[in-house]
Structure 1
Amino acid sequence: MNITRAEQRILHLLAQGGWIELEKDEQGRIAAAHCHTRDNWRFAGFDVDLFRRLKRRNAVASKGGGPYRITRRGLELVRARQDNR
């Protein structure tokens, strides 16, 4: 399955140990999404639309109310690269 360059970039960050945190408004809807690298740097090119596309493809998931991390499906979608851990 083809994924966009932005999705590929985020999946690489997540495969190296990054995570996604969500901010919700009073009604419980997603107001903002932030992607963090394994060094806790915030990635600037990430928004709610990109998060929804990754979630729709089952590339990210949350367990027990924690932050969103990459799934096995996400690891299959990401292209092999030398610096992935």
Structure 2
Amino acid sequence: MNISKAEQRVLHVLAQGGMIRHRRGESGHIVEALCFTRDGHILANTGLPLFNRLRRRGFIASHGGAPYRITQAGLRAVRAQLDNR
């Protein structure tokens, strides 16, 4: 499956225990989505279009209003990378 570098980066962070916190506007639609690493840092260059692509493809999901996490489909789509710490 073709995944862009930005999508790959976000999925890799989520696979390591990160999450995407979202904020809804007055109309109930999501207006902001920030990707947090497991250490609590914000991942740069993750905007609403990237979030919507991941959600539409079924790579991330939220249950009961919780932050978005990676799904089984997302885990299968992510390629292995070395941990660059």
Q: TM-score, normalised by structure 1?
A: 0.93
AA aligned opposite 1:9? R
What is the aligned-residue identity percentage? Answer: 54
Inter-partner Cα distance in structure 1 for 2:68 and 2:14: 9
Counterpart position of 1:25: 25
**Pairs aligned (count):** 83
Point out the structure with the larger strand share: 1
- Deviation per CA, 1:25-82, whole angstroms, max 9, x where unpaired? 1111111110000001111210000000001110000112100000000000000224
Query: In structure 2, the residue corresponding to 1:79 is in which secondary structure?
Result: coil
Q: Given the alignment of the two structures, is residue 63 of structure 1 paired with residue 63 of structure 2, yes or no?
A: yes
**Structure 1: unaligned runs, 5 residues or longer:** none
Cα distance in 1, alignment partners of residues 80 and 44 from structure 2:
23
Structure 1 residue runs of 4+, over 3 Å off? none
Q: Aligned pair in 2 of structure 1 residues 29, 14: CA closer, same or farther (>3 Å)?
A: same
- Say which SS state the counterpart of residue 50 (structure 1) adopts: helix
TM-score by length of structure 2 reads: 0.93
Residues in 1 aligned to 2:65 and 2:46: alpha-carbon distance in whole angstroms: 21
Deviation per residue, 1:11-38 (Å, 9 max, x gap): 0000000000111111111111100000
Amino acid of the residue matched to residue 50 of structure 1? L
